Structure 1
Amino acid sequence: MLRKVSKILALTAVSSMLAIGSAFAAPITIKFAHVVAENTPKGQAANKFRDLVAERMGDKVVVEVFPNSQLFGDDTVLEAMALGDVQLAAPSLSKFDRYTKSLQLYDLPFLFNDMAAAERFQQSEVGNELLMSMADKGLIGLGYIHNGLKQISAHKPLRVPEDAKGLKFRIQASNVLAAQFDALGAMPLKKPFSEVFTLLQTKAIDGQENTWSNMYSQKFFEVQPYITESDHGLIDYLVVTSTEFWEGLPEDLRPEIKKALDDGIAFGNDVAAEKENSDKQRIIDSGRSEVITLTPEQRALWVEAMKPVWQKFEEEIGKDLIDAAYAANQQ
C-alpha cells in the first residue's frame, strides 16, 4: 500500500512538473488593438510588427492585431489595458489628457509646419521624455506612429474662419480641440471615431477634421462635398503598453519585441508619408469632394483665429515644452 501511494505521489509530481514546464513553454500573446482600417499607416505598422515578431521570434511570442475597433475603442482600450485584456494599443495623442497634460501639446493648432518638424521634435530628447510622461499612471509610451496633418471637411466650402461659424464639427475627446473650434465660433462635439461616417452621412454633424488617409480609408470624402487643405494640426498615435506587462516580460525577449515594434513603426511612418499625397489624389480623382486650396492670405487668417488657443493651454502644457516643439520648425 505504501509503495502504491509513493508511486501515485511520484506520478503526481511528474505531472505537476510537466504542467509547469508546459505553461512556461506557451507563447507570450500580445493583443494589439486599434480603431482604424488595416490599410492605414497605423494598421500597416501593427501588421508589420505582428509579421516581424512571427518571423524573428517563432513560437515564443504571438501578436494578435484587432483593427477597426473590433476589440476596444480608443475610449475604453486604456482601461482594458489596465485589466490585462489588451497589451498594446495606439490611441491618438488626443486620448491621453486624463493621464498627462503634456501630450495636449500635439493638439495645438498650427504648431508644426510639416511632418518633418513633428518628426524632429519627437526624436529629440524632449520628445522622447514625453514617452515616459505617464509612467506614474502605469502606462509607457513605446513610439510614435504618424498619420499626417489634418484637413477640415464640411458640407459647405470653408475658405476663411468665418465660414465655420455655427457649424457642428466632430472632434476627438480633447479640450484643446474643443477650444480650437470654439475660437472659430463653431460647435465642437466629442464623438467616437467609429461613429463619424454615420454622423456625416445623416448630417447630424456638419464637418470634421482628419488626415487624408483617414478620410480616404473611412470614406468620409463620399459624404463631405468640401475639404479645406488647412494642414492645421497633427494626428499621430502613441504606441502604449502597461508598465506591469512591459516590465514583466522576460529580459531576453523584451529587446527583441521592442526592435520589431520600432521596425514596424518605421514601416508605418513610411506608409504615412506616401499616403499623405496618394490618398489626397485618390479623393480628388473620385470627384466626390472638392479640395479647397487656401491662399497664403486665407491661411494666415486661420492661424490668427486659432493661435490664441496656445496661450489658453500654456500653463497646463508648459511654455518651455511648446517653445521646444515650435523650435523644431526652424531646424
Structure 2
Amino acid sequence: MKKLLSIIMTLVIILSITACSSSDDTNDLPDNGDLGTEEILEPDDSEDVDEPTEQITLRLAELHAEDYPTTLANYEFARLVEERSNGRIKIDVYAGGQLGDEKAVIEQLQFGGIDFARVSLAPFAEFSRDLNALMMPYLYRDADHMWNVLNGEIGQELLESVYDAGFIGLCWYDGGARNFYTSTEVNSLEDLSGLKIRVQENQLMFSLIEHLGASPVSVPMGDIYTAVQTGVIEGAENNWPTYESFSQYEVAPYFVLDGHTRVPEILAASKSSLESKLSDEDIQMIIECAKETQEFQIQKWNEREEASREIVENAGTITVELSQEELQKFSDAVQPIYEMSPYNEYEEIVSKIRDVQ
C-alpha cells in the first residue's frame, strides 16, 4: 500500500511539472494571432520597388552669346523641360557657337550628333525649300503681319515640313527685320550697286543681293568684322542685335533701314535623337515647352533691339532712313525673283501670306 501511494505521488509531481512547463512556453510565443505556430516573415517579392530614374541629358546648340534673346529663350526652354519632367530630362545650352557654326550644327542635328539647335531659317531652308516662302523680299507689312502668319496654319505646316528631312520643328523665334550695313554711305539703290555684301549661304539671299545690283559674298558670321576691315567685303545685312553684339558697327557704320526681309529663327530638334531617347509623351511635352517660350523670346527681342540700336547710335552709327519712293525702288528691283524658279513654286503660299490680316 505504501509502495502504491508512493508511485501515485510521483506521477502527480511529474504531471504538475509538465503543466507548468507548457504554460511558460505558451507565454513566450509571439502575439501574432496564431498561438500554436511561430511565423517566419519572408520578404514579399511581389511588392513594387521604386528604381532610381536615370537622368537624360540633351545638348542644345546656339550661335549667339549668353545674353542674346534667343539664348535666353533657350535657357527658359531648358528650365521648363526640366521642371515638367521632374528633373528627369536636362538640356544643356551651348551658346556662343561652341558646337560649331550654323551649317555644321544643322548637319549634326540631322544625324543626331546634337539634340536641339536654334538656327536662322535661311540655312535651314536648304532642307525644306518651302521655308524660303517665309523669307521672300519685302513680303510682310510689319512684324505683326509676320507673327500672324507664323502662329497660324501656314506657320504650323512649315514647322512640320522639316520632319522628313530628319528634324522636329518646335517653334519660331523673332529675328527682326534684316537691313544692310556698310562701310560706305548708302542713301539709294544706286549707292548699293557694285558693293560686295556678305549674305547667308542661301540661294534666295544671293538672288536678292544680285537683283539689287550688289555682289553677294559668303563669309562666316564670326569673320564679318575682319572681312569688312580688310576690304574683302563692304558690308553685310542683318538685324540690330546681331550688328551690335558682333561689334560690326565699328567697321560698317552705316545702317540702312530697308527691311528687305524678316527671317524668323527656328528652334528644332533632331528626329533620330529624340525618338531614340524619349517617349512620344516626352516629345509632346518638349514641343509644348518650346512653344511656351515664344512670347518670352519676343519680349526679350524687343527689349534687346531697342537697347542695341541705342548702343550703336551712341557709338556713332549713322542710321539711314530711306524715303517711301526709294524703298519702292528696292522692292521693284527684286520682284523678278518671284517669277524665277524655284521661287515661283511658292506663289500659292506667298498669296496666302499676303492675305493674312
Give the structure-2-normalised TM-score.
0.81
Instruction: Report the 3-state secondary structure (helix = DSSP H, G, I; strand = E; otherwise coil) of the residue aligned with 2:60.
Output: strand
Residue 103 (structure 2) pairs with residue 75 (structure 1)? yes
TM-superposition CA deviations, 1:81-133 (whole Å, max 9, x none): 23322110121111123312101113311011211111111111122101111
| Alpha-carbon distance in 2 for matches of 1:42, 1:138 | 22
Q: What residue number does 2:37 align with?
A: none
Q: Given that residues 61 and 116 in structure 2 are in contact (C-alpha distance below 8 angstroms), is that contact kept between their aligned partners in structure 1?
A: yes
| Alpha-carbon distance in 1 for matches of 2:161, 2:287 | 19
Q: Given that residues 65 and 95 in structure 2 are in contact (C-alpha distance below 8 angstroms), is that contact kept between their aligned partners in structure 1?
A: yes
Structure 2: 5+ residue runs without aligned partners?
Answer: 1-48
Specify whether residues 43 and 294 from structure 1 end up closer, same or farther in structure 2 by C-alpha distance, changes over 3 A only.
same
- Of 313, 318, 340, which aligns to 1:284? 313
Q: What residue number does 1:299 align with?
A: 327
TM-superposition CA deviations, 1:123-153 (whole Å, max 9, x none): 1112210111122222121111112001110
Q: What residue number does 1:98 align with?
A: 126
* TM-fit CA distance, 1:313: 4.4
Q: Which one has more relative contact order, counting CA pairs under 8 Å at least 6 apart? A: 1
| Alpha-carbon distance in 2 for matches of 1:133, 1:91 | 16
Specify whether residues 206 and 316 from structure 1 end up closer, same or farther in structure 2 by C-alpha distance, changes over 3 A only.
same
Q: What residue number does 1:145 align with?
A: 173
Q: What residue number does 2:73 align with?
A: 45
* TM-fit CA distance, 1:315: 4.7
| Alpha-carbon distance in 1 for matches of 2:332, 2:280 | 51
Kindly report structure 1 stretches of 4+ aligned residues shifted beyond 6 Å: none
Q: Which amino acid is the alignment partner of residue 79 of structure 2?
A: D
TM-superposition CA deviations, 1:151-175 (whole Å, max 9, x none): 1100111121111111111100111
User: Which moved further from structure 2: 177-186 or 266-275?
Assistant: 266-275
| Alpha-carbon distance in 2 for matches of 1:317, 1:172 | 22
TM-superposition CA deviations, 1:243-270 (whole Å, max 9, x none): 2233342234333322322222321121
TM-superposition CA deviations, 1:185-217 (whole Å, max 9, x none): 211012222222222232221000000111111
- Identity of counterpart residues, as a percentage? 25
Q: Given that residues 230 and 294 in structure 1 are in contact (C-alpha distance below 8 angstroms), is that contact kept between their aligned partners in structure 2?
A: yes
Residue 141 (structure 2) pairs with residue 108 (structure 1)? no
Q: Given that residues 195 and 234 in structure 2 are in contact (C-alpha distance below 8 angstroms), is that contact kept between their aligned partners in structure 1?
A: yes
User: Which moved further from structure 2: 218-227 or 194-203?
Assistant: 194-203
| Alpha-carbon distance in 2 for matches of 1:61, 1:153 | 42
- The structure with the largest alpha-carbon Rg is 2
Q: Which amino acid is the alignment partner of residue 269 of structure 1?
A: I
Residue 196 (structure 2) pairs with residue 168 (structure 1)? yes
Specify whether residues 132 and 255 from structure 1 end up closer, same or farther in structure 2 by C-alpha distance, changes over 3 A only.
closer
* TM-fit CA distance, 1:314: 5.8
Matches within 5 A, 1:192-211: 192-211=220-239
Q: What residue number does 2:299 align with?
A: 270
| Alpha-carbon distance in 1 for matches of 2:164, 2:328 | 40
TM-superposition CA deviations, 1:300-326 (whole Å, max 9, x none): 111111222222246554210111122
Residue 251 (structure 2) pairs with residue 226 (structure 1)? no
Q: What residue number does 1:133 align with?
A: 161
Give the structure-1-normalised TM-score.
0.87
Query: How many residues were matched structurally?
Result: 307
- Of 214, 235, 243, which aligns to 1:215? 243
Residue 287 (structure 2) pairs with residue 258 (structure 1)? yes
Q: Which amino acid is the alignment partner of residue 255 of structure 1?
A: Q
